[in-house]
């Protein structure tokens, strides 16, 4: 599962084609349920029944393995029960599914017990470089940077570890165009957009993609009427201009109920358009204080901001786009794999994020694209005494603020994770 546009169909097709020559071709089947349901007016059950006839044997009597690749699984509401029936009949069928609607994919008990979920995320900066220019990352650099930044004993320890990686980072950037950073922030987190180049076309495609999420993925849940569906894009537009917005404020602005806004935000999180970051602290604080919402793909926020059509808008919002990148990276590396939790400091002037790794290492993080002094991290560390050390991700040089137990990590380092 994953956000629409992150390349699930491409990867599924590559898997199919890579193994097509290795296996008896009749024993491999690729199904696009989007076409099966919307073009042919049929179903997964009908396709598999026809496939049994083509094979000349039922699934129960299989002696050799079959490989079935199913794209856009969520288009057939009965896809999970159909696959359960197949698994009950034979152990000779291996199925790979893709689907954009994380909700229908992950909340189906028929499938959860028998499946391995591999979530796909928007592209990292190094993946962006691979797609754009065919440039591959330096071996083990990502792993070593991640270890140095997030698994140190103190800011000083992190600084010393990063110093040892300095030449590798310089080497990596020696062949990277600096303008790629802005390109990545604007459109580079969605693979289909990377080779389009034309920003206007990219944003038009993203708008169509969002319409598909709202009118198909979200509508299929049956939780909202048509009038409420209209509010969803407006909620995203308001969030594009401000990360922390109270449910009450959104409710007032859009003239709809608090309950409706809460449901919209929940669905947008499940559809993986948004990352919800709750306030750090007790359970009561998490309920009372507003959550922070980052876009899973900075290109989504950029598309909403592009409505103004002004380059100054991008410059002014560049920091927010970088916060999306940092949130997505931390979510991918720690939260999605259940290795950590991501929160924010709800008090004024506090850290953008508070990362808790393995329930023990607490690291306040401040993000910016200009010069940063680390004031936000300092403010948070005064209250969160158990913090291991603080991190400032910024345009500054690699620096250690030893008296404050804070390390300044340049964007050059962080983007290579």
Range of 24's domain?
Answer: 8-112
Handedness of CA 204, 209, 213, 216 (dihedral sign): positive
Q: Are residues 70 and 177 in the same domain?
A: no
How high is the mean pLDDT of the chain?
A: 92
Q: Identify the CATH number of the domain in which residue 82 sits.
A: 3.40.50
The structure tokens listed for 296 are 């899973």
> Is the pLDDT assigned to residue 77 strictly greater than 90?
no
* Total number of domains constituting the chain: 2
What pTM was estimated for this model as a whole? 0.93
pLDDT in tens, 357-367: 998 899 999 99
Looking at 112, 138, 166, which one is the last position of a domain?
A: 112
pLDDT digits (tens, 9 = 90+) for 4-58: 999 999 999 999 999 888 888 899 999 999 999 999 999 999 999 999 999 999 9
Average pLDDT of the segment spanning 398-416: 97
- pLDDT exceeding 70 applies to what percent of the chain? 96
The confidence band for 308, taking pLDDT boundaries of 50, 70 and 90, is low
Which of 112, 147, 180 finishes a domain?
Answer: 112
In this structure, of 63-72, 90-99, 181-190, 214-223, the range with the lowest mean pLDDT score is 214-223
Residue 72 within any structural domain of the chain: yes
Residue 41: its pLDDT value, please?
Answer: 97
Judge if 108 and 133 occupy the same domain. Answer: no
Average pLDDT over residues 74-96: 92
Mark out the alpha helices in 174-310 (DSSP H runs): 180-183, 191-194, 199-212, 226-241, 247-254, 258-270, 283-288, 298-305
Dihedral of CA atoms 146, 148, 150, 151 in degrees, nearest 10, equals: 120
Q: Exposed, middle or buried by CB within 10 Å (0-12, 13-18, 19+), for 105?
A: buried
Residue with tokens 């987190």: 189
Asked if 103 and 29 sit in the same domain, the reply is yes
User: Residue 271 — very low, low, confident or very high, per pLDDT cuts 50/70/90?
Assistant: confident
Are 221 and 294 members of one domain? yes
**Max CA distance (Å), the chain:** 75
In a domain? residue 293: yes
pLDDT digits over 164-191, tens only? Answer: 999 999 999 999 999 999 999 999 999 9
**78 and 220 part of one domain:** no
pLDDT tens-place string over residues 37-47: 999 999 999 99
Crossing angle of helices 141-150/155-164, nearest 10°? 160
Identify the CA nearest to 302 among candidates 147, 182, 173, 141.
182
pLDDT value for 363: 99
Structure tokens at 393: 């991700």
Residue 117 lies in a domain: no
Q: Is the pLDDT of residue 257 over 70?
A: yes
Q: Is residue 291 scored above 80 in pLDDT?
A: yes
Q: Is the pLDDT of residue 200 over 80?
A: yes
118 domain-assigned: no
In a domain, 50, yes or no: yes
């Amino acid at each position: 599962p994953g956000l629409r546009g992150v390349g699930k169909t491409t990867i599924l097709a590559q898997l199919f084609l890579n193994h097509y020559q290795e296996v008896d071709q009749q024993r491999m089947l690729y199904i696009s349920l989007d076409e099966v349901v919307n073009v042919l007016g049929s179903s997964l059950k009908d396709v598999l029944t026809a496939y049994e006839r083509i094979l000349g044997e039922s699934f129960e009597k299989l002696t050799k393995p079959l490989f079935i690749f199913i794209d856009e699984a969520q288009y057939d509401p009965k896809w999970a029960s159909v696959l359960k029936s197949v698994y009950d009949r034979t152990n000779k069928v291996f199925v790979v599914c893709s689907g954009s609607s994380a909700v229908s994919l992950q909340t189906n008990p028929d499938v959860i017990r028998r499946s391995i979920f591999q979530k796909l995320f928007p592209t990292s900066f190094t993946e962006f470089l691979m797609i754009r220019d065919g440039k591959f990352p330096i071996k083990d650099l990502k792993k070593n940077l991640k270890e140095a930044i997030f698994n140190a004993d103190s800011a000083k320890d992190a600084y010393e570890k990063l110093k040892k990686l300095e030449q590798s980072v310089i080497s990596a950037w020696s062949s990277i165009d600096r303008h790629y950073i802005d390109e990545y922030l604007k459109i580079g987190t969605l693979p289909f957009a990377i080779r389009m180049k034309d920003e206007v076309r990219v944003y038009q495609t993203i708008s169509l993609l969002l319409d598909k999420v709202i009118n198909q993925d979200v509508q299929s849940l049956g939780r909202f009427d048509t009038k409420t569906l209209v509010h969803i894009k407006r909620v995203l537009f308001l969030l594009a201009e401000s990360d922390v917005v109270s449910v009450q404020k959104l409710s007032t602005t859009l003239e709809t109920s608090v309950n409706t806004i809460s449901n919209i935000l929940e669905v947008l999180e499940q559809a993986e358009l948004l990352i919800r970051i709750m306030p750090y602290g007790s359970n009561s604080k998490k309920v009372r204080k507003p959550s922070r919402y980052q876009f899973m793909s900075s290109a989504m926020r950029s598309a909403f901001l592009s409505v103004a059509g002004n380059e100054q808008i991008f410059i002014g919002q560049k920091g927010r786009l970088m916060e999306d990148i940092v949130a997505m990276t931390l979510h991918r590396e720690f939260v999605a794999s259940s290795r950590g939790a991501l929160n924010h400091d709800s008090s004024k002037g506090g850290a953008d994020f508070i990362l808790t790794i393995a329930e023990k290492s607490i690291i306040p993080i401040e993000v910016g694209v200009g010069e940063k002094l680390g004031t936000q991290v300092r403010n948070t560390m005064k209250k969160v005494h158990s913090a291991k050390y603080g991190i400032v991700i910024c345009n500054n040089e690699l620096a250690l603020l030893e008296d404050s137990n804070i390390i300044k990590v340049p964007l050059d380092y962080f983007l290579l994770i």
